[in-house]
Structure 1
Amino acid sequence: MRVFLIVVCFVAYSSAHMCLISPPQRGSMMGINKQGANDCVLTKMSCGGRMATSPSVGVRAGMNFTVTFQKNLDHWVKATPGYFSISMGTDDKGTFKELARINDMGEPSLTLFSRNVTIPDNAIGMSVGVIQVTYVTKNPDAPAVFYQCSDVYVFRD
């Protein structure tokens, strides 16, 4: 019984999470108001292993757009604080360009972050882009990076 409790505690701890609220993340947002939500534990590069979806949000190249995400489970370590990165690319296999970086200052689990970013002006025509948010933990006792992506239409004047 003791071993079972230790395993359960380890799984709960190691399943750190980061959820993308706006634009909406791939997959669902079920349970995101509870620490350790299953839909927010994506550790596989570069979009957590989730397939692209039909974009639900349109953005214009060169415009400002507010990205909102949640630190679903805290992994801050004072000696090696991590960060969150907001990036954009043309698909989840390509190169992402970092648009903003927010330092992890030890905010508690379920903290919301919003950052205004400028959509890159190099989008060609009306295409689909990928907004990626990562949580780089720099915590030796946690996964190195958590990923979330959202597919967006990118319009150009």
Structure 2
Amino acid sequence: MDHIGIVRPARPEDLPRLAELIHEHVAYEKSAARPAGLADRLGPRLFAEDARLWVLLAETPGGTVAGYAACSEEFAFWDARHYLHMDCLYLAEEARGHGLGAALMDAVAGLARELGLEHVEWQTPDWNEGAIRFYDRLGATGRPKRRYAWPV
């Protein structure tokens, strides 16, 4: 099998490329554009000494950052325990289908184990059939719910 690339933690110098990928992801999910300055707002939160946020980057064999998984620790009230919440997983279109998505998910699972967490949760739009097939192949189970946002 060909070398698929690597997955590694994001570094401060990755912020401009990470912001590009986030904007691509936002457009892909047909969401409203985000305001300028995303990298400037994200950096201090992601790289603070006490940050409980993790971003894993997928690099192609040529060294191009082509995707990311963004995670944070959350608390499941019904279970009375923490879990890893994967807020975003995105791969640039040209990087899909080469094993980088599976490598990112393996790294997310490894991060959860490293943190002593027993499971990972995430969501995907119900129209994203490719992502749903990918997650189903991993053995993940979906739970139908509707997500709300409430500006206050």
Note whether the superposition's TM-score is higher than 0.5.
Answer: no
Task: Give the structure with the larger strand fraction.
Answer: 1
Q: Which range, TM-score by smaller chain?
A: under 0.3
Between the two structures, name the one with larger relative contact order (CA 8 Å, sep ≥ 6).
1
Task: Give the structure with the larger helix fraction.
Answer: 2
TM norm structure 1: 0.24
